Structure 1
Amino acid sequence: MRTERIAAILLAAGTSSRFGEGDKLMADLRGKPVVQHTMETVASMAFAELIAVARPIGQAPVIHRKLERRGYSILINERPEEGISGSIVRAVEHVMPIRHVRGILICLADMPDVPQTHYNRLCLAAADIRSVVASTDGFSSSPPAFIGRKHFGELLTLRGDQGARALLSRGIQIETHSALLRDIDTPEDLMNGQSALDGG
């Protein structure tokens, strides 16, 4: 499916509970904040909509400014402690009335090393509004992932921190190197990610 028919959803409302002090999305990774890597890669593509779900501006003012400068519409998750599902529900509610959007690409702000080529592969593998296309390291399904409009109703029922994992496990699996799908949850993850990765 062409990216012009897809809304990119950047989930950036996490509480950084395992990271210790500070906001993991604002931690420096190879010269810029973690969130900026994902934000810029996604914004460089021709999506129908750029949407980010973030914490209230008082909790993440710099992230809000960066998102606005890159052209994202920002939705607020007032209760990020309830897990990733709340952010997905808010994004789907926003996208549903936009009729030209045939599906969403869910991207995680704490996955800074996913290259544009992988996002493109996910979109190209989506045939129509019934499609579900997940990333995999060969073992488990994960975001980034495409979910077609036909499944929006199911997404609206999500609760907790499992997100759309069950739905993704039933979809097409696009395999890539596990290092590209690594997310930043702890200071150790950040240290491990400091060396630049080659795209794949």
Structure 2
Amino acid sequence: MKGRIVGVVLAAGASRRFGARDKLAARISGRAMVQAPARALSGLGLSRRAAITRTPRQPHALRGTGTALWSVGHRRPQAASLRRAVRGARATGASHLLIVLGDMPGIGRAELRALLRHGGLHPAMATDGRSLAPPALIPRRIFGPLLRLRGDRGAGALLRRRPDLRRVPLGAGALRDVDRPEDLRPPRTG
């Protein structure tokens, strides 16, 4: 896909359901959880990679991933992180914004490449065949509506209503979202 694509890891959530520990620093396969989506953004030919964090200090878990930090501040609703990502992408002249969540350790380059192949003029979002979930690829023409979102709403609510949305099938393991400590356990098979 041609264009100036900015990839952003949303990593500013309060993680209330996870308890007192820093969820994004939780170890999965020997690495902090947030490192998997941050590293997946490398090698995709993106014009810029960034992470939305609560503070302007780089979290230890993101060191060495090559991501810039765009701070949103403490105790901000979900939409504030998304708006910060959109403003950052718009400021760089991006044609698209590729959104990845910091608590989805199953996301890799192959999944993100699949989204990039289905983008273009239309937004694209991942599906496991039953429901839609991040990651998502959003063209610049949708940045305005995203900037109007408020509260604890992400891009999904807006994208799901679009008739031009491209649904990109990804495996359920790739779309695993970690919200609670028990979600760190490997999924049961069989």
- How far residue 162 of structure 1 moved from its aligned partner, in angstroms, is 2.2
Q: 1:172 matched to which residue of 2?
A: 166
Q: 2:15 matched to which residue of 1?
A: 16
Q: In structure 1, give the amino acid aligned to 2:132.
A: S
Correspondences of 1:42-191 after superposition (within 5 Å)? 42-57=41-56, 61-63=59-61, 66=63, 69-79=64-74, 81-99=75-93, 101-128=94-121, 131-169=122-160, 170=162, 171-191=165-185
CA distance in 2 between counterparts of 1:21 and 1:92 reads 30
Return 5+ residue gaps in structure 1 as ranges: 196-200
Contact 2:115 2:125 in 1 (8 A): yes
1:107-163 Cα shifts (integer Å, max 9, x gaps): 0011011121110111111123xx110011112211100000001100101112220
Contact 1:12 1:109 in 2 (8 A): yes
CA distance in 2 between counterparts of 1:28 and 1:137 reads 25
Q: In structure 2, give the amino acid aligned to 1:105.
A: L
Contact 2:111 2:174 in 1 (8 A): no
SS of residue in 2 equivalent to 1:158: coil
SS of residue in 1 equivalent to 2:168: strand
- How far residue 57 of structure 1 moved from its aligned partner, in angstroms, is 4.6
CA distance in 2 between counterparts of 1:25 and 1:49 reads 21
| TM-score of the two chains, using structure 1 as the length reference | 0.85
CA distance in 1 between counterparts of 2:61 and 2:70 reads 12
- How far residue 184 of structure 1 moved from its aligned partner, in angstroms, is 0.9
Q: In structure 2, give the amino acid aligned to 1:48.
A: S
- How far residue 14 of structure 1 moved from its aligned partner, in angstroms, is 1.2
Where is the helix percentage greater, Structure 1 or Structure 2?
1
Identity over aligned residues, as a percent?
A: 35
1:62-85 Cα shifts (integer Å, max 9, x gaps): 135x1xx33222111113x33321
| TM-score of the two chains, using structure 2 as the length reference | 0.90
Q: In structure 1, give the amino acid aligned to 2:17.
A: R
CA 1:61–1:5: 2 relative to 1, 3 Å? closer
CA distance in 1 between counterparts of 2:136 and 2:149 reads 16
Return 5+ residue gaps in structure 2 as ranges: none
